[in-house]
Amino acid sequence: VEYEGDAFERFLFSLPAYEQAVLVAAVERVLQVYGTDICSGEWGKPLGEGLYEFRIRKSLRTILVSAGLDVPEEAGTDRSVLLRVFCTFHGDKIVLLYHGYNKKTDPSEKRQQREIAKARKIHERWKRQRNT
């Protein structure tokens, strides 16, 4: 997993500790493992031109149990989240994370479209840089 720019890291570190833990677990235990196959279920949605939306709405406990891992005591709550991360896949092994947002704090369609537009700009810039 790699980051394109610093938008994803800013997003990650802006989240409360629990949401950070959920996001990291989802990236490591779902996104890295399944890649574009996230789109065959509830985890992902293709947005076109190689851009994807990774949808995280499970609790930390659920993600860890689904991955067959022991659940640490601090993950004891079963509180779900509603996070969106925009990404692309490069080759067989690299997932580029662009940015994300906490949909629970603003679930509006307007916000969703604004975030997708931002992801498209980052994605287009990355594609241009890769081709030069």
Chain Cα centroid distance, residue 21: 12
The pLDDT value given to residue 25: 93
CA distance 25 to 19: 10
Averaged pLDDT for residues 17-38:
93
Residue type, 82: L
The pLDDT value given to residue 66: 86
Of 103 and 67, the structure prediction assigns the larger pLDDT to 103
CA distance 122 to 99: 9
Per-residue pLDDT reduced to its tens digit, 5-19: 889 999 999 999 999
Provide the 3-class DSSP secondary structure of residue 78.
Answer: coil
pTM for this one?
0.90
Q: Which range (2-11, 17-26, 36-45, 105-114) has the least confidence?
A: 2-11
Per-residue pLDDT reduced to its tens digit, 45-100: 999 999 999 999 999 989 988 888 877 666 656 788 999 999 999 877 678 889 99
| Mutual angle of helices 7-14 and 17-26, in 10-degree steps | 130
Asked if pLDDT for residue 122 goes beyond 70, the answer is: yes
Work out the mean pLDDT of the chain and round it to a whole number. 90
